[in-house]
Chain A
Amino acid sequence: MRWSLPKVAVSTELKPNSWDLALIPVVFALLALLAYGAGQMVTPYDVGAPLPLSLDPVNLPYYLLRSALRMAAALMASLVFTLAFAIAAAKVPALEKVLIPILDILQSIPILGFLSITVAGFIALFPGNLLGVECAAIFAIFTSQAWNMAFSLYSSLKTVPNDLIEASNVFHLSSWQRFWRLELPWGVPGLVWNMMISVSGGWFFVVASEAITVSGQTIMLPGVGSYIALAIAARDLAAIGWAILAVLGGIVVYDQLVFRPLVAWTAKYKTDSALGEQQPESWVLTMLQRGRLFRALARLPGAAWAGFTGLLRRREARSDFLPPPARRLILPAWAERAWDALLLAAALAAVVQVALFVHASVGLGEIWQVLLYGLATSVRVVVLIALASLVWVPVGVWIGQRPMVAQNVQWIAQFLAAFPANLMFPVAVMLIVRFDLNVDVWTSPLMILGTQWYILFNVIGGASAIPRDMKDASDNLGLTGWMRWRRFILPAIFPSYVTGAFNAAGGSWNAAIVSELVSWGDTTLRATGLGSYIAKATGEGDFPRIALGIAVMCLFVMGFNRYLWRPLHTLAAERLRLD
């Protein structure tokens, strides 16, 4: 044996390679920005004091940072909520009974309506500090993001394959280990996908929630949304243009730095990728995975994660047998019955309370009036979805059948869906005033401005998924014209179309609140409908009317879901699946 020099203690893994060199400055810059932005959130503040805002585009990057941070904070809150909710609902049947209907209702509540109800509470929570207002804005964004994420994880937890559960029992995993090693990973792909959808919808609410009206005063948090509100008040078209650019920038940054890597990373959590499905790729993830230093650094959280998830092990039993941990927490029968009684009583009390509150301050006549407003708005939604479908279904099919086009256009459509349409409202106001158009009719298209893209990109997705064989067969049989559409194309894209139209309709209800009452400078246009009713009540701080408006809208949305969308989904799932 020959002597050799002792090896240098620093392992070669810690020497940066070229991937690292490219990434290190990016990471440091990001960290510094985050720290700065977060610091600004916690400055002292008194209600009434105006926050300095300027329309100088130089400030826009800073405003964008603040808005993006709000978005990130809301996303974190949504994740925490999602975990707590999904675990409680999936593991405890007694809670499931309450939580699922509540989530169903929360999903259909117009978020913008109850922003002003919550903001007062948050301000009281952090007196004399901007954090209260920040929290209110973050909460508004949170409410636009959390529900679908929570629902996705819940349904994943309920559908973990039985053989994997059995395997985890045979190999003696504790319930803690089983959750982190099996149940949560199983839900990851669905969760990430829903996070992406949530953030995409979130930009709309960032814009709408930064300028908050509390007790007659408008607080404008530094951010893109406030910048836009200011620009609208000042009739500054150039500033609107800059804001649009800034938001586009924000969407790209989120997409490239957060979601591309996440989606590419979750590919490994999928059981099987369908043949021919494109593997998602992300340059950021590639860099992280190839950079030597980052790979080494990634071991640290990796090891911490392994330690954390292995934390609670099965107790060492004396016998040879380890009874498997329970999958669900079932209460004894008497407790179950007591719980049911309690729920029933609470529901009754709530109904009585709300009825009294609304009745005392509003009156029966107005309730009828509001129901009629609801009808007006639902007519708008239905007509617009129909019109948008007439336009976008043929376009989507045309694009979907051309794979090269589809790849690029679908990305653009997703992008447009994320783009907050409220940015375009001023233009509409100007046009309506200029040509003296009917307000009730011509403000309606604004509702669907941001949501129509859901129809487009879902139809593109559906059309590009039609099997080649079916297309060949329909050509071979000589199907042409209307016959081809009726017998082949429409049924084939129906499931994706229903998903798209459902999302579009849901978004439109929410958009009604901002689109039925629009302004440009001191010009304000008001259409007759439920949206403008809520918007007006919000502006005046009239809580009983806000509550009534929200309740009625909730009723309409749930009615549509139950009697239109759910049957359509069932039809699509049972009869028209392409497999």
Chain B
Amino acid sequence: MVSPSTALLDLRGVRKTFRTPERHERTVLEGVDFRLEEGEIVALLGKSGSGKSTLLRIMAGLIPANGGEVLYRGARMTGPARGIAMVFQSFALFPWLTVQENVELGLEAARIPRAEREERAAEVIELIGLGGYEGAYPKELSGGMRQRVGFARALVMRPDILLLDEPFSALDVLTSETLREDLIDLWEESKIPTKGILLVSHNIEEAVSIADRVLVFSSDPGRVRAEIRVGLARPRDVESPAFRQIVDEVYTLMTANVRGGAGGAADQLTLGYRLPDTTPGKMAGLLETIAEPPFSGRADLPQLAEETELEDDALFHLFEGLRVLGLARIAAGDIFLTHAGRAFVEAEDAGRKEMFAEALLRGIPLAAHIKRVLDERKDHRAPEDRFLQELQDYLTDHEAERVLETAITWGRYAEIYDYDYNSGVLMLPEEVVEELEAEDQAEAE
């Protein structure tokens, strides 16, 4: 029975775990509650790797949840549903099929007779602005046109629900804006039968400009942390104060430190802490930008995003890096330099490295652990596999490699350890080893 109160999608306490190669369980999603009501567009915002794409795939019925309930129009979901279509970040078009054939693919699988297939495809192709390109192969099209094919392929199924997995993030700014506006027009004018849209994104402005509700997703484990209603009429003016205020609010929520509720000192991290995907060079650059006018030590986040022209996702990784190293602090949608951060900016190159090393050893358990192991070993060398295996207790293979790579990059900058690519061995820097040996000799004498 479909009662009026039934949501299009209803997720209750959804949990998803993956097994690491060492047979440890890693929780990607925990206790996710979510409803998609008829007639609304919801955006799901989160950092890369927060599990939002996994959640989207659970909603699409592509992967099963480990716990909780997933209901589509009140029915328990057991596989890809007829009424749910998806648009992919990478477009996922079949390169050997023409635009027309790509669009007809789902209809063909659904045994729709040829004549009707062609008619429906032609209709959607016209609607989405692909007219004239029916016979083209995807590789002949620009990125924007390719994603239009992705949308056409989904819309031709006349879906109830449209799931969008960062559909605009592979496109340039101008193209993605046009495509976004076209989608909103189709939706507003009810030219498509779709009753609800879910957009996964890591671009805050994009989310606020499209959605009726924005959900902020937190990572480790992923869950919905906050919700903001965007009560603005469409089309939305991105320059209006009301719009800017909501964007500001979302930035604040996205950067709020959830772990250590007490604030103040950096929270205690574990060995398996997922180091943010950024580099010391970028962090130093951002610190300088914050220190200089117009910010002079304190920056409004959306403004900083505009100034640096960095993607939201890259920016959040930078913020996270600065935060765990104690070089900057975030509060109420602003980022401040800490004392350490200010000292870092003012120091020369060598001084910076020293400060960075100190912060690294204090703040990042993995870096401290690597240093300790290398100190204790007689030859001051250790194979990377040793550390990878330890990380795999907490992380997937791929993620463990990324984290170790990041730790190596940071440690190299700080000159606390070095790495040989050919042999895959971590070691103390040569100068340090020489110093240690000299000390040993002195002691022996």
Contacts and interface: CB of A to CB of B under 8 A. Distances in A.
Interface in B30-84: 57, 60-62, 72-73, 75, 77-84
B386 interface: no
A313 B111 CA distance: 8
A320 B81 contact: yes
Contact of A163 (B81, B82, B90, B157): B90
A273 B138 CA distance: 12
A269 B62 contact: no
A172 interface: yes
B88 A163 contact: yes
A314 interface: yes
Contact of A321 (B81, B86, B110, B153): B81
Given A164-B92, A272-B139, A170 B110 contact: no
A9 B424 CA distance: 73
Given A166-B88, A320-B81, A324-B80, A171 B139 contact: no
A322 interface: yes
Contacts of A271: 95, 139
A122 B35 CA distance: 68
Interface residues of B, number: 36
Interface in A262-303: 268-273
Contacts of A321: 61, 72, 75, 77-82
Nearest to A303: B114
A93 interface: no
A181 B62 contact: no
Contacts of B72: 320-321
Contacts of A181: 94, 105
A268 B96 contact: yes
A271 B111 CA distance: 27
Given A170-B62, A182-B94, A310 B108 contact: yes
A319 B75 CA distance: 9
A44 interface: no
B106 interface: yes
B142 to A, nearest CB: 13
A314 B77 contact: no
Nearest to A310: B108
Nearest to A164: B92
Given A271-B139, A313-B109, A170 B85 contact: yes
Among A166, A182, A321, residue most surrounded by chain B Cβ atoms (within 10 Å): A321
A447 to B, nearest CB: 34
A436 to B, nearest CB: 51
B273 interface: no
Nearest to B106: A171
Interface string B407-445: 000000000000001100000000000000000000000
Contacts, number: 96
Interface string A168-201: 0111111001000110010010000000000000
B62 A166 contact: yes
Interface string A140-172: 000000000000000000000101101101111
B83 A172 contact: no
A494 to B, nearest CB: 14
A575 interface: yes
Nearest to A166: B62
A320 B92 CA distance: 24
Contacts of A313: 109, 111
B137 interface: yes
Interface in B135-154: 137, 139, 153
A323 interface: yes
Contact of A177 (B79, B109, B139): B109
A164 B110 CA distance: 18
Given A169-B62, A171-B105, A322 B79 contact: yes
A320 B90 CA distance: 27
Contacts of B80: 169-170, 172, 321-324
Interface in B272-292: none
Contacts of A268: 95-96, 137
A170 B157 CA distance: 11
Nearest to A188: B96
Contact of A170 (B75, B84, B95): B84
B384 to A, nearest CB: 14
Interface in A236-277: 268-273
Interface in B154-188: 157
Nearest to B160: A320
Contacts of A322: 79-82
Contact of A167 (B82, B88, B96): B88
Among B57, B95, B109, residue most surrounded by chain A Cβ atoms (within 10 Å): B109
Contacts of B86: 166-167, 170
Among A164, A172, A188, A272, residue most surrounded by chain B Cβ atoms (within 10 Å): A172
A321 B59 CA distance: 12
Nearest to B137: A268
Contacts of B110: 172
Interface string A308-321: 00100110000111
A170 B60 CA distance: 7
A306 to B, nearest CB: 8
Interface in A526-579: 575
Interface string B81-121: 11111101110101110000000011011110000000000
Contacts of A272: 95, 139
B153 A171 contact: yes
Among A163, A182, A310, A314, residue most surrounded by chain B Cβ atoms (within 10 Å): A163
Contact of B139 (A170, A173, A188, A273): A273
B157 A171 contact: yes
B95 A270 contact: yes
Among B72, B77, B80, B90, residue most surrounded by chain A Cβ atoms (within 10 Å): B80
A320 B106 contact: no
A320 B75 contact: yes
B78 A173 contact: no
Contacts of B79: 321-324
A164 B109 contact: no
Contacts of A164: 92, 94
Nearest to A185: B96
A321 to B, nearest CB: 4
Contacts of B105: 171, 173, 181
Given A167-B92, A320-B81, A172 B139 contact: no
A163 B110 CA distance: 20
Contacts of B94: 164, 167, 181-182, 185
Contacts of B57: 166
A216 B77 CA distance: 71
A320 B73 CA distance: 10
Interface in A426-446: none
A174 B109 contact: yes
Among B62, B81, B96, B422, residue most surrounded by chain A Cβ atoms (within 10 Å): B96
Contact of B422 (A166, A185, A319, A575): A575
A163 B92 contact: yes
A323 B85 CA distance: 15
Contact of A320 (B83, B85, B89, B108): B83
Contacts of B61: 321, 323-324
Nearest to B153: A171
A272 B139 CA distance: 6
Contacts of B153: 167, 171
A255 B60 CA distance: 47
Contacts of B92: 161, 163-164, 166-167
B95 A269 contact: yes
Nearest to A178: B109
14 contacts: A166-B86, A170-B84, A170-B86, A171-B85, A172-B80, A172-B106, A173-B105, A269-B96, A313-B109, A320-B75, A321-B77, A322-B82, A323-B61, A323-B78
Interface of B: 57, 60-62, 72-73, 75, 77-86, 88-90, 92, 94-96, 105-106, 108-111, 137, 139, 153, 157, 421-422
Given A321-B79, A575-B421, 5 more contacts: A167-B153, A170-B106, A272-B139, A323-B80, A575-B422
